[in-house]
Amino acid sequence: MSDLTNGKTLPDSSDKADFYELITDATITAGVVDATALASNAVTTAKILDANVTTAKILDDNITTAKILDDNITTAKILDANVTLAKLATDAHTTGTFTPDLQFGAAKVGITGTQTGTYVKQGTLVTCFIVIGLTSKGSSAGSATIEDLPFTVGSGIGAPVGSIKMDTISFADYPFVDASGTSLRLYEISTAGTVTNLTNANFADTSSLNITIQYTV
């Protein structure tokens, strides 16, 4: 047992406290102390300094959940105690897809084509990319909206436009979109500052839209 005691005389085996004192970090290596040499209750968190424990000294199959008490790990012992689940959820970066739904007057009778959407969410900021290509604008009439945004727009927050491209869609001077709830509303604004809704009359059966928007939730 000289490898374990650094040449010191081993005390009575019942005197475990003295035995622990004889075993120093320098003598504990993967080649000297293995699972059979350590009883389940022989190692406690009080006897282990974080700086002395390396992956080279620990074999995974020697560590079991039965040997680790959850109540020995507290937020006070973790430097990253300021990282909470709420903060992780807020700061999380996620991506996904959704299906935008073009409507006229809150209806979509006979509208056909492709409508796709993707989004990137970073914390409370959402960026949506919408591509719509019609093969028929259908028979519904009224103001044009795009429904089913992936996240509800924050209260009182509009949707600044990153970019908007329209093909085969008429408008007066400048088109723009605004958002509330999970809906986008399509508008036109004249050089005189007059704002009106785009409607089915502005669209054709082959109209297309490419929109990038950002908003907060």
Count of other CB atoms within 10 angstroms of residue 184? 26
The confidence score (pLDDT) of residue 106 equals 97
Q: What pLDDT does residue 213 have? A: 92
Q: What percent of the chain has pLDDT over 70?
A: 55
pLDDT band at 29 (very low <50, low <70, confident <90, very high): very low
pLDDT over 50 at 24, yes or no: no
Percentage of the chain lying above the pLDDT 90 cut = 45
Mean pLDDT of 125-146: 97
> Across all residues in the chain, what is the average pLDDT?
76
Inter-CA distances, 84 with 48, 87, 111, 148, Å: 27, 5, 46, 31
pTM above 0.85, yes or no: no
User: Quick one: average pLDDT of 117-139?
Assistant: 95
pLDDT bucket at 182, cuts 50 / 70 / 90 = very high
For residue 175, pLDDT over 80 is answered with yes
Q: Once rounded to an integer, what is the mean pLDDT over residues 158-186?
A: 87
Q: Which of 43-57, 66-80, 88-102, 180-194 is predicted most confidently?
A: 180-194
**Ranges of H-type helices in 81-187:** 85-91
- For 201-214, what is the mean pLDDT? 96
Query: Is residue 37's pLDDT more than 60?
Result: no
The answer on pLDDT for 165 being more than 90 is yes
- Residue 14 pLDDT greater than 60, yes or no: no
Instruction: Say what the pLDDT of residue 93 is.
Output: 87
The pLDDT of 74-93, averaged and rounded, is: 61
Residue 212 has pLDDT above 80, yes or no: yes
Extended strands (E) in 57-190 = 93-98, 101-104, 111-122, 125-137, 144-147, 161-169, 174-180, 183-189
